[in-house]
Amino acid sequence: MRIVRNSKHITRRKRFAKLFVFVGVLMLFGSALPALTGNDRFVLPAYGALVLGFLMFIGGMQQVTKWSRRPRADVQLDETLARLNDRYAIFHYVDIGKHAPEHLLVTPGGTLVLTTKDVRGLVRLNGSRWHKQGGVLGRLFNLGAPQLGNPTLENRLQIESVEEYFQNAALPGTVEGAIVFISDNVEIEMRDPELEVLHYSELADYARDMGAEVTLSNADRTVVVDALSAGEGLEIIGGSGASRPRKKVRAA
């Protein structure tokens, strides 16, 4: 399987994450200025610094957690899909639009947009509505961890971005989407999901099933792969094998 990774993007995101945390901490300390100086003129700016500093710190910590994860999401997908043959290619962090997906898998059956989520515990899905089970105290302590958000909306926007790119570049094939949970400690209760929802342990089999219905010829698949590999800062590397993790997804 071909693996294409935008390593420069990863480096930049790590740098910005640390910068956000650093600036957030500075602003939080700066918000204590009125108490230290006894000057009431700084009260309103201090409240602003407190709120903004808190948001920057939390946002920065979420990004630090994401990019410092071992294995990082892209590496984990590579290991999971390593047993696929050379008719498959995965792309990480390629710049192809406003809502560019972080992971794209090109198969003989078309292109698959992968939206990964690294959350733990019980997650409930009803149609396109997502809910992470947990109390207020638990959510407070997990503010700096990766958040669930709305994976369905994210994936749809990413699909639209890829479809627009394919149309502008006159690339062949269809574009589909899937939401992939990459934590071992997640349980998902699903009811009428609008998109495919997978645990990462299911992804290789799903990709193989998708590729079994060939809609892209070898020539067309080469065109798509070459176009996605043409961006700046991309490196082409090989995947590494890994044992298949225990499946944890459960459907209601």
pLDDT, one tens digit per residue, over 22-75 is 999 998 888 877 766 666 677 787 888 888 989 999 999 988 989 888 999 999
What integer pLDDT is reported at residue 31 of this predicted model?
Answer: 81
Separation of alpha carbons 111 and 132, rounded Å: 29
In whole angstroms, give the CA distance from residue 239 to residue 82. 5
pLDDT band at 138 (very low <50, low <70, confident <90, very high): low
Q: How many CB atoms lie within 10 A of CB 128?
A: 15
- CA–chain centroid gap for 64, Å, is 14
**Annotated domain spans of the chain:** 9-68, 72-238
Q: Is 186 exposed, middle or buried (0-12, 13-18, 19+ CB in 10 A)?
A: buried
Q: Region 133-145: what's the mean pLDDT? A: 65
CA distances from 141 to 16, 17, 26, 58 (A): 23, 19, 21, 11
* pTM to 2 decimal places: 0.83
pLDDT score, position 246: 39
Q: What is the pLDDT of residue 176?
A: 96
Q: Which helix or strand (DSSP H or E) is residue 7 part of?
A: helix 7-30
Mean pLDDT value across the chain: 86
pLDDT of residue 147: 86
Lowest-confidence range among 90-104, 126-140, 152-166, 236-250? 236-250
- Per-residue model confidence (pLDDT) at position 96: 87
pLDDT in the model for residue 244: 38
Confidence of residue 160 (pLDDT cuts 50, 70, 90): very high
21 pLDDT band, cuts 50/70/90, is very high
